[in-house]
Structure 1
């Protein structure tokens, strides 16, 4: 009897060892790595330039007569400009960025002004402008931000000197003036750490902006005396621009991968 029990015990032990050997080793599962993140919160400065188009709805009217003669028309133009500015961004909810900024533009964005009643033509130049606004963006990638923006804008328009139908100075002008308005736009900002070149903190942004300035009524004046000619021009201004700027972020630390 004892021999039988010993034999059965030996068989059971051998069967268990064989079953354990047949089981495969537990597979190794690597812990998932977090997606790279970047820190967009902080101050930045930028500078660049671009070009644009200018359009204006104009209303020309004679004054000082019993029956005023009026003409409505739309005129346009184009030109270039430079820009500088600064801002501050906050990153929240991982991939969202909100910020405030201010910038200034300078250059020569010209629009045609015509007085068909008097046979006069001139150029009105947007010499300087400035803007203050907010922007909201989403991180397409850790180092690429797509955004929209909007806010308040002011502009200085230079003096308009008219020429007559044969192209010679007419001795008539419109004074320079300032106008206020608002703008909307959007763009893309991306890190310059590309093509294997390390440039921490340096970015490039390309932006479209559409600015609208309030209507202004001006009197045509004789050169030298500023006496009234007898015609008024009322016009608004709508400017569309595209610019590319070099951006420097003071606290750029990403993208990085969290450590465990």
Structure 2
């Protein structure tokens, strides 16, 4: 496997130019792509260590080194997984903020229910018109404010005062734990630190170490136009991107079901 790893690294290094990684091309380059020392610097490892890998020598690289090399060489998700398999490691799941066009089309097909696409730490990446009607205009919020945990624990902590609100919040926190990215993901770490400092309720839930992937949970809230709503929150996982599609439904003919129908009509008129 060392020979295959060495060949793969050399090939992918030749495909990445200095401009691709924000480097200025200086001096004559006899071969295309990055220099070995440039890859090493981008990955945060020693030049000697990287040279030994390209020569099929040296120790087996750690997951941290593999992730750093994948970022430095601008590998796709499939290429990253292949890199991990070359050294006998399980593929590294990568959380992507880019929502595939097929998922966006599916999102819009839910024209009668509010639907969102979220990443592993509950950043809201995409939404449909019904979600805007239910929860407000996400496009007018900053990226930091487009996070469901931040919204519940910092912007609207009053939702935690009800049993349903607290239960929903707990399920979200447990789902972040279940993603297995703590403490290695700096984005999760930063979010956990901030929420823990700003809201003791979050610190308490996080310290409980509950682990459960969120799939279905009830959610109750009050809409400024349609009043109290009792919704079923369903979550579909998109495992290859570490994303999830969340949508809110209610039984047809129920008070909330009728409110969603009114919301749909109202949204089309605004």
Identify whether the pair has TM-score above 0.5, normalized to the shorter chain.
no
Which TM-score band applies after superposition, normalised by the shorter structure?
Answer: under 0.3
Higher relative contact order (CA 8 A, sep 6+): 1
More strand by share: 1
Structure number, greater radius of gyration = 1
